[in-house]
Amino acid sequence: MKIAVIGAGSTYTPELLDGLLDRLAALGIERVALHDIAPERLEPVAAFCRRLARRKGGEAAAGAGAIVHTTDLGQALDGARFVVVQLRVGGQAARSADIERCLRRGLVGQETTGMGGLAKALRTIPVIAGLALEIARRAPDAWVLNFTNPAGLITRAWLRLGHARALGLCNLPADLNAHCAAALDLPRERVRLDYAGLNHLSWARRVLVDDAGGGAAADRTAAAVERLAADPERCRRALGFAYPREFLAGLGAIPCGYLRYYYATAHEVARLRAAPRNRAEEVLEIERELFAWYADPARDEKPPALAKRGGAGYSRIAAGLVSALCDDRPVREIVNVENRGALPDLPDDAVVEIPVLLSRRGAEREPLRPLEPPLRALVEPVRAYEDLALAAGLALAEGDPAAARRLAIQAAVVHPLGPDAPEAPALIDEILSAAGPRP
């Protein structure tokens, strides 16, 4: 079996490989092909990955052909059974510009939420369109595991472009599961979440604790909410913001960390403006440290700085998805997947973040109850925004910038974190100008 990693010059790649190495024998992985358009990033990452593989699995794991790297996309994709996509079109420089452009206007500039997410999507979807054509030629039956942000919207792009075997990955549900387990003083393996929403706009609607003796699961949502709300610092670590007890108790669900941008917008904009540097600038400094580590031929262990890079648990999630999709026994995972009736109050073609049963047969959805009114009130406008943003990105891919501009302006105004109508055209013009022409 061959796995292709597109965007392998990312500093995340050793984290991904580390998870795959633990499953090489069980999965029958014979080759990992690392691809990037930037050889100056790809080569040190690939060399480090081989050293890491040799340390963990011996010469067989790192020998000739086991881990290859290339700037030739076709060579990377040929015969791949899985394609992991972790692109950042424009790099951290574009991310930094997105953040500052939004903050100047008093808007959230985060790269997946609000107008930062729109800017990133408009840069990325045209590139995804070209990549989808190449995958259709070189690896038509491959699963695409998308880790490119904004994950839900980019997964929708894969599906709209005809690649039905596409799933979006996000570490947030697993992180929230761990925080809920810690709040209840339980091992995370006994806790599972009734989880629903869109990527980075999702909630744990119930916290279920499996009976150690095999009995029915107990609903411990109220206890988890109470323990999080009672400790502001624990609440901030788990949910990104120290919510008032009355709000969490009234909501009746536990919000993922990115909902703070919706529930505490003014606070978050002020916090981002007051920071001495934005997140992209922080990541650039972390990446300099990581690349220095990767370039050192004496290093063959994951660097401590990787924990500061974000995306904790990425390797476990990605490797777990590969394992599940190769097995006959279904495994429950929370992923970004086409709705197809799972949430009855959303369209079939919406990409939702929900638990599914993954196996060799694909992703099996179970019927879920409708979203509660406070949740649906946020999901509906953001889902409508995603419709417009996806159409704008595809218009750019098709060479119709006028249509893309018109659709992007509407997307910006529809989004709860977007600008008012009079300010939207100037913002979109700046975003499109910065994006420039794309293949």
- Rounded to 5 degrees, what angle do the CA atoms 412, 425, 396 make? 70
294 in active site? no
Tokens standing for residue 353: 């973040």
- Rounded to 5 degrees, what angle do the CA atoms 404, 410, 416 make? 130
Catalytic-role residue among 12, 243, 258, 314: 258
As a whole number of angstroms, the distance between CA 26 and CA 379 comes to: 39
8 Å CB contact between 368 and 343 = yes
Tokens standing for residue 159: 């599906």
Q: How many CA atoms lie within 13 A of 87 on its CB side?
A: 25
8 Å CB contact between 25 and 324 = no
- What is residue 411's three-state secondary structure? helix
As a whole number of angstroms, the distance between CA 13 and CA 303 comes to: 12
Tokens standing for residue 189: 């393996």
Query: Catalytic positions, please?
Result: 258
